[in-house]
Amino acid sequence: MIERFNAPGLAPTPGYSHVAVATGGRLVFTAGAVPLDEEGRPVGPGDYAAQTRQVLANLARALEAAGATGDDVLKTTVYVVSEDRSDLAEVWRVVQESDLAAAASTLLGVSLLGYEGQLVEIEAVAERLDATEG
């Protein structure tokens, strides 16, 4: 079971939860999902929204392999190569349209990510129920 909530006395959030608590399941930790297609080619060069959509699709595949979905995600860390807050806002808008929207989240502007031309990376922590627990 996952309980998500905002803590009393903290400022309202732009669409994420301050806290996520998991009980009764197994934790799933993903590596950072990147904007590569199935052949390892970069998707959406120079396009924050296109790269974010590819990253979310790849993250969904990784979660599925572990028996989890975006609804099971407790926490995300979203990395965006930019010093411009409007670029971070564009990525955040796409994340907020996904099933990861309610997760506790950290959004970071960084100077460089691992692949040439990579603008976005997202890692996640999820909880999945054991098959014996239903």
pLDDT in tens, 91-127: 999 999 999 999 999 999 999 999 999 999 999 999 9
**Per-residue pLDDT tens digits of the chain, which is 134 residues long:** 888 888 888 888 888 888 888 888 889 999 999 999 999 999 999 999 999 999 999 999 999 999 999 999 999 999 999 999 999 999 999 999 999 999 999 999 999 999 999 999 999 999 987 655 44
Total number of domains in the chain:
1
* Alpha-helix residue ranges (DSSP H) falling in the chain: 48-65, 85-96
Q: Taking a C-beta distance cutoff of 8 angstroms, is the pair 86, 129 a contact?
A: no
Indicate the pTM of the whole model.
0.87
Q: How far apart are CA 36 and CA 17, in angstroms?
A: 28
The enclosing domain of 46 has a CATH number of: 3.30.1330.40
With a pLDDT cut of 70, the percent of the chain lying above it is: 96
Expressed as residue numbers, the domain containing 126 is: 2-133
* Residue 31 DSSP code: P
Question: 55 in helix, strand or coil?
Answer: helix
SS3 for 98-131 is CCCCCCEEEEEEECCCCCCCCCEEEEEEEEEECH
